[in-house]
Amino acid sequence: MKENKIVRLKDDIKLNNPILLVGLPGVGHVGKLVAEHLIEELNAEKIIEIYSPHFPPQVLVNDDSTIKLVNNEIFSCKANDKDILILTGDHQSSSTEGHYELGDLYLDLAEEFGVSRIYTLGGFPTGQLTHTDGVIGAVNNHDLIEEMGQYGIEFKEGEPGGGIVGASGLLLGLSQFRKLDALCVMGFTSGYLVDPKSAQFLLGILSKILGVEIDITPLEERAKEMEKIAAQLAEMEQQQRQGQQFLPDTSSDEDLRYIG
Amino acid sequence: MKENKIVRLKDDIKLNNPILLVGLPGVGHVGKLVAEHLIEELNAEKIIEIYSPHFPPQVLVNDDSTIKLVNNEIFSCKANDKDILILTGDHQSSSTEGHYELGDLYLDLAEEFGVSRIYTLGGFPTGQLTHTDGVIGAVNNHDLIEEMGQYGIEFKEGEPGGGIVGASGLLLGLSQFRKLDALCVMGFTSGYLVDPKSAQFLLGILSKILGVEIDITPLEERAKEMEKIAAQLAEMEQQQRQGQQFLPDTSSDEDLRYIG
Amino acid sequence: MKENKIVRLKDDIKLNNPILLVGLPGVGHVGKLVAEHLIEELNAEKIIEIYSPHFPPQVLVNDDSTIKLVNNEIFSCKANDKDILILTGDHQSSSTEGHYELGDLYLDLAEEFGVSRIYTLGGFPTGQLTHTDGVIGAVNNHDLIEEMGQYGIEFKEGEPGGGIVGASGLLLGLSQFRKLDALCVMGFTSGYLVDPKSAQFLLGILSKILGVEIDITPLEERAKEMEKIAAQLAEMEQQQRQGQQFLPDTSSDEDLRYIG
Amino acid sequence: MKENKIVRLKDDIKLNNPILLVGLPGVGHVGKLVAEHLIEELNAEKIIEIYSPHFPPQVLVNDDSTIKLVNNEIFSCKANDKDILILTGDHQSSSTEGHYELGDLYLDLAEEFGVSRIYTLGGFPTGQLTHTDGVIGAVNNHDLIEEMGQYGIEFKEGEPGGGIVGASGLLLGLSQFRKLDALCVMGFTSGYLVDPKSAQFLLGILSKILGVEIDITPLEERAKEMEKIAAQLAEMEQQQRQGQQFLPDTSSDEDLRYIG
């Protein structure tokens, strides 16, 4: 697979002026938690799968021992008569160049579906273990600020000071070239753990923006599961790292020291 | 060499509905041990060599001081009247993108030979130094589970929790796009050492699946040699790492700090 | 975005034999400080924005909560009747190959505008915390040395001994293929901090070369702000690094260890 | 510069069955020391310069403050009526893929000049600080062993156990595809320092092979200079590494953690 691969699960999708929500893995997994919760609660239907050589060479194992090649996916649903697309997935790009390439791929799809606005969802690392309710925003069009401030999204001068790294930010930047409105909404989170509380608060604000009721009870459980998976992966990675030091196949770009 | 290079050692290969076994370097080198053992015991014939710029820039030195450019290789044999292809090699891809590219290359060859099923062989790191007999499986088609369970392959809910990283998993995922049945069979192993015991147990199960007797006596010795090579490489790498800090040629992508 | 993207903000730019000043991020941020200061003081006008998949996938957040996709930019101004182009930006390339690709892109633009000479501005790390006034130079055409020595630029035998890494040096090298004169001017700096003192001294020399008066009072403040941003980014990065160890999305090329 | 660039300094080069010596940076810089010494002592003439986006984005600074873009170079000379080509340079490739690409580029040139045999020169890290005279060899054609053994090159069963990493080994492997004889000759060296003693011994053997007298007196001095440069670069790199932690421009692939 040398190229990104878009698998369309449904023909003839007609959407009326939809918005796109993007919740990919990231700080506190806040964006992904929110996206997965919305997909469940709004009975969103998967319409597109995206595979890419810029994702890690990895499959996940389902409960029934079948596998799933890591990917990103787009779901579609109606909420309060509005069409909503939700982009979520297992990973962001493994490489800098892949981030840009996938970013444009997502926006090509957004344009194809006539998306009128993009909300990227993420976490804002406070570095503090005690939870504070709060959501901070950044926009690619100043006109959005007044409207969005009404829903309780805070806009703080020049925050986050280090900018926004990854798809959440990049999509705002790349959208500008297409005159597509986009904002990034980040829930306060410690930055250390999968954070359902942050996701809960962010969901509250989103439900106001979307004008729909969303049950947030199942969120805690979803977060626990996500954390379990994360822990397993971390453990496995550590085991491997230890194990690999005795094995001759660990060559990677950074091990390019010459013999001879 | 900008492109992968396939060297065909034999013309006019006609196989009848063969299966493909994949045993590349990985955790405990279980898959590679099994693959190399089968090649030896079943007198498999090398039919294809695969070279790639995604493998490390390295040659191995044979006992007679000739060299071998690192590669992956496909062998062919008959066992109990069945045609079997075995893919093994020195390395997996050094880069994420290369993993996907090589994965498709392997599957192109599998399709060309009319492969009906793929078994990828690997190790499942338990993190525990005491050996436990056991083999865990994952499939890309649920129908395979019942059949395979008969041979003692365990299918555990959602295990391995962190998914399967590298060619063993990726080939299952990429095979789905071709409607090609594939399963990954992983022997329990500590994760810390080249593990002939794990390979032995996995071989026992494979011999039942393939319906052939396989002598496992030489396996221990093969593992010792592999471990020796692994240790030598590790030592050499460490020497180099120390040596290189005094040398001006260690620039790599991650050292891109600017002067000036 | 698979390719670099050049956004032209102004049509029909006619410049008479302009020079190009290049001040990108680097040691002590000396080059960038000088470039930004000149842009401000000389009321330079932005004429070109350059976006690239070789820059990090990052947006910066402006004071008004709008974002800016990281880029490099070219400004144009007149000083003492001379046409001056100034190239500055948020980042240098993230990859080796990107450095070469962007280097040629900058030189293509330089040739298009008829640039007659390039000055790349940077810092020379002394490793000593006490500041020393001084500017060291390197050239891609020996004829420049005599002229430039008059302005107080020191040329020391074989210094810097480790060469010049990054755009400041590379542009000198790539310019040789185009018979374009280029020199690198580096202000002494500790190498540990954003260094307005070094920038100040370098500006003094540049003002003599350009034959213009430049007010250096606002420089100190500009440096403080730059340092604040740098500190915020560093803090955020550290928080993330800690946070990410619990999250399953940290896969990068260097984590390519195989399971299975 | 997206592609490798070959600059030819001389037209109409006619060589009669030349051999190619390759001495690039590597363990103990033995190969590079030997190559540079031969170039000097045999008055070899530079005929080709090779530039590549796979080399670090770096220029070196000459004693007269002019710069040199890092490259690889091919020199030509006659020794005892034999035509000899010598390939040396500042760096090996920064990336895995670049190693393969450059390897083929070198072999294309070798074929163009009608090279009949390639000697790659390197160091064999013993890990021991006390010097031992000795040279170990590996070949890509078994017929070479008997001839080469006469000159004191040792061929030890399966040594080096970890194979040969980098251009020295890769060129042997890639030459096989062209039916071009190649051997790698490695002088014993600690692996920790630029090693003129190892180069001296290797030169002694080469002078027998080439049938020419080579004065090795200037070698010690050359090694000292090379070590000085190496030390300067290392120091500079360390300063930068420390300095960069306060600066916002250190983003590289491995720092791709997401905010937002």
The answer to whether residue D3 neighbours chain C at the CB level (below 8 Å) is: no
Q: Do B174 and A67 count as a contact with CB atoms less than 8 A apart?
A: no
**CA–CA gap between residue B47 and residue B85 (Å, rounded):** 9
For residue C235, is it within any domain? no
Q: Do A232 and B155 count as a contact with CB atoms less than 8 A apart?
A: no
- C121 has which bridge partners? C185
Taking every pair of Cα atoms in chain A, the longest distance, rounded to a whole number of angstroms, is: 68
Parallel, antiparallel or unpaired: strands C58-61 and C82-89 = unpaired
A236: nearest CA partner in chain C: C259
As a whole number, the mean pLDDT across chain C is 88
The answer to whether residue A257 neighbours chain B at the CB level (below 8 Å) is: yes
Chain C from 176 to 205: CB within 8 A of any B CB:
184, 186
Compute φ and ψ for A7, nearest 5 degrees.
Answer: -105, 120
B240: nearest CA partner in chain A: A257
Q: pLDDT higher for C178 or C260?
A: C178
Q: Do B194 and A247 count as a contact with CB atoms less than 8 A apart?
A: yes
How distant is the Cα of C78 from the closest Cα of chain B, in angstroms? 26
Nearest to C59 among A170, A191, A237 (CB): A170
**CA–CA gap between residue D40 and residue D44 (Å, rounded):** 7
How distant is the Cα of B40 from the closest Cα of chain A, in angstroms? 21
Whether B198 contacts D124, CB under 8 Å: no
The reported pLDDT for the residue numbered D226 is 74
The reported pLDDT for the residue numbered D81 is 84
- The percentage of residues in chain B with a pLDDT greater than 90, rounded to a whole number, is 68
- Structure confidence at residue A252 as a pLDDT band (50, 70, 90): very low
Whether C159 contacts D61, CB under 8 Å: yes
The reported pLDDT for the residue numbered D220 is 78
For residue A258, is it within any domain? no
Q: Do B258 and C92 count as a contact with CB atoms less than 8 A apart?
A: yes
Mean pLDDT of the A156-167 span: 91
D188: nearest CA partner in chain A: A260
Q: Where are the alpha helices (DSSP H) in chain A?
A: 30-41, 96-112, 144-149, 167-176, 196-210, 219-244
The reported pLDDT for the residue numbered B201 is 94
For residue B244, is it within any domain? no
pLDDT digits (tens, 9 = 90+) for D86-120: 999 999 999 999 999 999 999 999 999 999 999 99
How distant is the Cα of D241 from the closest Cα of chain C, in angstroms? 9
The reported pLDDT for the residue numbered A233 is 64
ipTM, interface predicted TM-score of the complex: 0.89
Number of Cβ pairs < 8 A linking chain C and chain D: 177
Residues in chain D closer than 8 A to A25 (CB atoms):
258
**CA nearest neighbour of A88 among A38, A137, A125:** A38
Whether B54 contacts A57, CB under 8 Å: no
As a whole number, the mean pLDDT across chain B is 88
How distant is the Cα of B65 from the closest Cα of chain C, in angstroms? 30
How distant is the Cα of C91 from the closest Cα of chain D, in angstroms? 6
The answer to whether residue A162 neighbours chain D at the CB level (below 8 Å) is: yes
The answer to whether residue A170 neighbours chain C at the CB level (below 8 Å) is: yes
- Structure confidence at residue A258 as a pLDDT band (50, 70, 90): low
**CA–CA gap between residue B252 and residue C14 (Å, rounded):** 41
Q: Which chains touch D (3 or more CB pairs under 8 A)?
A: A, B, C
Angle made by CA atoms A100, A105, A107, in degrees to the nearest 5: 95
* Cβ neighbours of residue B108 closer than 8 Å, sequence gap 6 or more: none
How distant is the Cα of B154 from the closest Cα of chain A, in angstroms? 10
Residue C256 has pLDDT above 70, yes or no: no
Residue B252 has pLDDT above 50, yes or no: no
How distant is the Cα of A79 from the closest Cα of chain B, in angstroms? 32
- Structure confidence at residue A50 as a pLDDT band (50, 70, 90): very high
- Structure confidence at residue B258 as a pLDDT band (50, 70, 90): low
How distant is the Cα of C172 from the closest Cα of chain D, in angstroms? 7
For residue C221, is it within any domain? no
Residues in chain D closer than 8 A to A169 (CB atoms):
259-260
Phi-psi region of C37 (alpha: psi -120 to 50; beta: other; left: phi over 0): alpha
- Structure confidence at residue D248 as a pLDDT band (50, 70, 90): very low
- Structure confidence at residue D234 as a pLDDT band (50, 70, 90): low
CA B99 to chain centre: 13
How distant is the Cα of B194 from the closest Cα of chain D, in angstroms? 16
- What one-character-per-residue DSSP string does C87-118 give? EEES---SSHHHHHHHHHHHHHHHHHTT--EE
Residue A162 has pLDDT above 50, yes or no: yes
The reported pLDDT for the residue numbered B227 is 73
- C72 has which bridge partners? C50, C89
pLDDT digits (tens, 9 = 90+) for C167-180: 999 999 999 999 99
As a whole number, the mean pLDDT across chain D is 88
Segment of A128-132, B182-186, C221-225 carrying the highest mean pLDDT: B182-186
Q: Do C164 and B260 count as a contact with CB atoms less than 8 A apart?
A: yes
The answer to whether residue C9 neighbours chain A at the CB level (below 8 Å) is: no
Structure-block tokens of residue B55: 């493998």
Residues in chain B closer than 8 A to A249 (CB atoms):
24-26, 29, 90-92
For residue D257, is it within any domain? no
Residues in chain B closer than 8 A to D176 (CB atoms):
69
3-state helix, strand, coil in chain B (%, to 5): 35, 25, 40
The answer to whether residue B141 neighbours chain D at the CB level (below 8 Å) is: no
Q: Which chains touch C (3 or more CB pairs under 8 A)?
A: A, B, D
Phi-psi region of C84 (alpha: psi -120 to 50; beta: other; left: phi over 0): beta
pLDDT digits (tens, 9 = 90+) for B74-126: 999 998 888 999 999 999 999 999 999 999 999 999 999 999 999 999 999 98
Which among D55, D69, D96 is the top mutation candidate for probing chain B, defined by the most B β-carbons within 10 Å of its own β-carbon?
A: D96
- B88 has which bridge partners? B23, B73
How distant is the Cα of C10 from the closest Cα of chain B, in angstroms? 31
Whether C142 contacts B238, CB under 8 Å: no
Residue C107 has pLDDT above 70, yes or no: yes
The reported pLDDT for the residue numbered C239 is 53
The answer to whether residue B67 neighbours chain D at the CB level (below 8 Å) is: yes
Mean pLDDT of the B218-243 span: 67
Which of the 8 DSSP states describes residue D130?
Answer: S
Structure-block tokens of residue C67: 């974002």
Q: Do D161 and B232 count as a contact with CB atoms less than 8 A apart?
A: yes
Residues in chain B closer than 8 A to C248 (CB atoms):
162
Residues in chain D closer than 8 A to C229 (CB atoms):
248
3-state helix, strand, coil in chain D (%, to 5): 35, 25, 40
For residue D33, is it within any domain? yes
Which of the 8 DSSP states describes residue D260?
Answer: -
Q: What is the CATH number of the domain that holds A28?
A: 3.40.50.10900
Q: Which helix (H) or strand (E) holds A164?
A: strand A164-165
The answer to whether residue D233 neighbours chain C at the CB level (below 8 Å) is: yes
The answer to whether residue A94 neighbours chain B at the CB level (below 8 Å) is: yes
Residue D152 has pLDDT above 80, yes or no: yes
Q: Per the structure, how many domains does chain D have?
A: 1
For residue A229, is it within any domain? no
pLDDT digits (tens, 9 = 90+) for B13-42: 999 999 999 999 998 899 999 999 999 999
Q: pLDDT higher for D117 or A255?
A: D117
The answer to whether residue D95 neighbours chain C at the CB level (below 8 Å) is: yes
CA D70 to chain centre: 14
Whether the CA torsion B123, B126, B132, B138 is positive or negative: it is negative
Q: Do C251 and A58 count as a contact with CB atoms less than 8 A apart?
A: yes
pLDDT digits (tens, 9 = 90+) for A214-234: 888 888 787 777 777 767 766
DSSP three-state, residue A207: helix
Q: Do D258 and A122 count as a contact with CB atoms less than 8 A apart?
A: yes
Residue B251 has pLDDT above 80, yes or no: no
Q: pLDDT higher for C69 or B256?
A: C69
Chain C from 235 to 254: CB within 8 A of any D CB:
236-237, 240-241, 244, 249-250, 252-254
Residue B197 has pLDDT above 70, yes or no: yes
Q: Residue B212 is part of which domain span?
A: 5-217
Which of the 8 DSSP states describes residue B145?
Answer: H
B256: nearest CA partner in chain A: A254
Q: pLDDT higher for A27 or D8?
A: D8
- Structure confidence at residue A192 as a pLDDT band (50, 70, 90): confident
